Amino acid sequence: MGFTNKEAIRAIENRKLKVNGNIVAENIEFNETWEIYYEDNLLKPGTPFTYIALYKPKGIETTNNKEIDNNLTTVFPFDKHLGYAGRLDKESEGLLILSNDGKYIQSLSSPTKEKEKEYVVTVNKPITKTFIDQMGAGVDIMICKTKPCIIEQLSEFEFKIILTEGKNRQIRRMCKALGYLVSRLIRVRIDEILLGDLKPGEYREYTLIK
């Protein structure tokens, strides 16, 4: 914006800085989407929020760091400063949420918000009722015991699971603790956003209804 920190503080103290039409009266962390005026001179036009549902393919790391092989920029053009919600390990696939709306991303990512995340999982051997019951009740994965969750068997080797927590490689650890290995894991929903008919590497923009 052409301001030093000292000049910005002085502008705030003199009540000459406006953000989205409101006078700034205290130090705040600026958001790149804001419209900013100084003494009625436009310093920066506002940028609308962007909301994107991306199908992260298997084999892609959940990072936009180009120094890491097979990062997200190889399947998505990061031309905006986007954060993401719903980290998936490299071997997992499915829905990631991308947005420049930091509060929205935080609301989906924070464990205290307990937003639902739904997965379809394929395992290496036939599923039993005992397995379903134990997964649903919570499993000791060494670092903790997972919370009770919603789980439904879909076929001999496949089940659907809905979590409200997001421990690292949680579903894989739960299955392994019960003697199963995950052969495929797809996230199909985060909160109210569905993967839908997206294919690996595809994405769509959506409108957030607040």
- What's the rounded mean pLDDT across residues 182-209? 95
Instruction: Say what the pLDDT of residue 48 is.
Output: 80
Instruction: Say what the pLDDT of residue 20 is.
Output: 62
Cβ atoms 194, 188 nearer than 8 A: yes
Query: Rounded to whole angstroms, how far apart are CA atoms 92 and 175?
Result: 14
89 flagged as catalytic: yes
Query: Rounded to whole angstroms, how far apart are CA atoms 167 and 181?
Result: 17
Residue 95 C-alpha from the chain's centroid: 8
Coil, strand or helix: which one is 29? coil
How does pLDDT run across 53-85, given as a tens digit for each residue? Answer: 999 999 999 998 999 999 999 999 987 678 899
Instruction: Say what the pLDDT of residue 38 is.
Output: 72
> All domains of the chain, ordered by start, with CATH?
5-44 (3.10.290.10), 48-114+196-210 (3.30.70.580), 116-190 (3.30.70.1560)
- Please give the helix or strand (H or E) that residue 139 lies within, else none: none
Instruction: Say what the pLDDT of residue 54 is.
Output: 97
When pLDDT is cut at 50, 70 and 90, the band that residue 2 belongs to is low
**pLDDT over threshold 60, residue 3:** no
Instruction: Say what the pLDDT of residue 96 is.
Output: 97
Cβ atoms 49, 189 nearer than 8 A: no
- What's the rounded mean pLDDT across residues 171-183? 97
- What's the rounded mean pLDDT across residues 8-27? 67
DSSP 110-131: -GGG---EEEEEEESS---HHH
pTM: 0.80
- What's the rounded mean pLDDT across residues 15-36? 67
Instruction: Say what the pLDDT of residue 111 is.
Output: 84
Q: Which amino acid is at 20?
A: N
Query: What proportions of the chain, in percent to the nearest 5, are helix, strand and coil?
Result: 20, 30, 50
Beta bridge partners of 94: 56, 187
Catalytic residue, chosen from 40, 69, 79, 89, is: 89
Cβ atoms 76, 200 nearer than 8 A: no
